[in-house]
Amino acid sequence: MVIVLLEGKVMQIKKNMGIVYLSAMVTALLLWVPLRGQVETGKAERPKNVILMIGDGMGISQLSSTYYFKDEKDADREPAFSRFRYIGLARTSSGLEVVTQSPAAATALATGYKTYNMAVGVDLDTVVRENIVEFLSKKGYMTGVIATSSITDATPAGFYAHQPDRYMQHEIAYDLLNSEIDFFAGAGSKYFRDTTGVYPFEEHNIEINYHRLKKIKKPEPGSRFGFLLGLERMPRMLDGRKDFLARASSIAIDFLSTGEAGYFLMVEGSQIDWAGHRNQVEYMITEVNDFERTVGSVLDYAEKNGETLVIVTADHETGGYTLGAAGENNGYADYSVIDPTFASTNHSAALVPVFAFGPGAENFIGVYENTEIFHKLVSLMESE
Ligand code: MG
Ligand code: ZN
């Protein structure tokens, strides 16, 4: 039976009228329930908190990998990406180059401005542009950044720093001290000292820990916390990083939730990109699996919390990664085995996925520029 509903009327009716009326009622109910909230507020539901998760270099093939190359303990589990209902694709080209680098991509996501590839938090004319952390801090939000690279590396830096070149890491580190960021975790302790000594964390109310992640108990109002757990980078998963990313995220969420207004947290799986540059399949798979597990634990939290918008995306794809069939087997293509390969040691211009979960998630479907993610977030978070 075919039923076409137009303006609430059943246009085409065949056979059993009872079923038709029941179907029409169910359809009307399904349409009415989701629309109700939007009619009342005039726009989509507004989240209290935002968690933006960035898989550096995580294209569609990289995330698809998590469906085929699972760690043993995750063998029976559907990857967390399947839990999203609102999915989009973002274009990533920088303001100058067709293939982006991480600084320009981070700046696009954090400030809504397309810029040149080496720029961090400044536009094409090196003018400082307000980022989402600064925007939300003015509204009383608490904010945090987490990475498996140096915390001064391009992706996290885009959310607090303003420098014309990504390699000005000592200046970027100083920007972190002077920023509104309340929580950070990653590596890069070597960038927080110069010839005059270690940077003055205490003057900036930052309690710094160089040794291990630790829950933050009863923080004083206004106190800030930093974990710098490596000179330059966190270890690879293959070298025993364990659950750093998921655990740092959970500690950050607990701490940032102590604010009244809400919070913004950026979580980066930094090394998916490095594995791509090196064309190392096992490295890539273990890094993207770690990121996927972290997405899963953040979604577990967001499901219970109900007020948190979770966005998972990438800054760009790295390595032209593919999941092609294994190739020849007695003169025939062997379609029973995947042979992961890379086409490049550079970034690519492939569109990247955008997954959204929670209040406002429906705004993230479609195909759009990466700068739109900033604009969508700002319009959602602007007070009514
Ligand atoms: Mg990065
Ligand atoms: Zn890269």
List pLDDT tens digits, range 335-381.
889 999 999 999 999 999 999 999 999 999 999 999 999 999 999 99
CB 174 within 8 A of CB 194: no
Cβ-based neighbours of 221, under 8 Å, separated by 6 or more: none
pLDDT in tens, 161-177: 999 999 999 999 999 99
Encoded amino acid at 234, one letter: M
Check residue 34 and give its pLDDT. 44
> How many whole angstroms from 182 Cα to the centroid of ligand 2?
27
The active-site residue out of 61, 102, 179, 348 is 102
Query: Could you confirm whether 383 is annotated as catalytic?
Result: no
Residue 259: CB atoms within 10 A of its CB come to 16
Tell me if 292 sits within 8 A of 69, measured CB to CB: no
Q: Are 51 and 311 in contact (CB under 8 A)?
A: yes
- Considering only CA atoms, which of 230, 294, 289 is closest in space to residue 268? 294
Measured in Å, residue 198 CA sits from the centre of ligand 1 at 25
> What is the distance, to the nearest Å, from the Cα of residue 41 to the centroid of all Cα atoms in its chain?
27
**Tell me, what's the pLDDT at 8?**
35
With beta carbons less than 8 A apart as the criterion, state whether 68 and 289 touch. Answer: no
pLDDT at 44: 53
Cα distance between residue 91 and residue 370, in whole Å? 6
> How many Å separate Cα 85 from the centre of its chain?
16
**Nearest 5°: CA angle at 182, between 214 and 313?**
90
Q: Sign of the CA dihedral 240, 266, 189, 317?
A: positive
C-alpha 313 – ligand 1 centre gap (Å): 12
Structure tokens at 302: 């967001």
Residues 371/114, Cβ–Cβ less than 8 Å:
yes
Q: What is the CA radius of gyration of the chain?
A: 23
- Please state, in angstroms and rounded to a whole number, the distance separating the CA atoms of residues 134 and 180: 7
pLDDT value of position 18: 40
pLDDT score recorded for residue 383: 62
Pair 334, 123: CB distance under 8 Å: no
What's the CA gap between 312 and 355, in Å, rounded? Answer: 5
Ligand 1 centroid–CA 268 distance in Å is 7
Rounded Cα distance between 159 and 317, Å, is 20
* Burial call 147-164: b when 16+ CB within 10 Å, e when fewer: bbbbbbbbbbbbbbbbbb
Below-70 pLDDT ranges, the chain: 1-44, 383-384
Calculate the alpha carbon distances from 172 to 87, 221, 357 in Å: 33, 25, 31
- Closest-lying ligand to the alpha carbon of 166? 1
Q: In terms of Cα–Cα distance, which of 156, 155, 162 is closest to 143? A: 156
Q: Which residues pair with 324 in a beta bridge?
A: 339
CA distance from start to end of the chain = 45
For residue 321, the one-letter residue type is Y
Q: pLDDT value at position 382? A: 86
Element containing residue 21 per DSSP (H, E): helix 17-41
Q: Which ligand is nearest to the CA of 347?
A: 2
Q: How many residues does the chain have?
A: 384
Distance from Cα 303 to the centre of ligand 1, integer Å: 27
d(CA 287, CA 17): 56
**Which CATH architecture fits 2-382?**
3-Layer(aba) Sandwich (3.40)
Residue for token pair 């206004």: 222
Q: Which residue has the tokens 């700068």?
A: 371
**For residue 117, which ligand has an atom nearest its CA?**
2
* Cβ(373)–Cβ(113) below 8 Å: no
How would DSSP label each residue in 164-179? S-TT-HHHHHHHHHHS
Nearest ligand, CA 156: 1
The three-state DSSP-derived secondary structure of 95-164 is: CCCCCCCHHHHHHHHHHCCCCCCCCECECCCCCECCCHHHHHHCCCCEEEEEEEEECCCHHHHCCCCCEC
Among 83, 130, 103, residue whose Cα is nearest residue 370: 103
CA 299–ligand 1 middle distance (angstroms): 22
CA of 56 to the centre of ligand 2 (A): 7
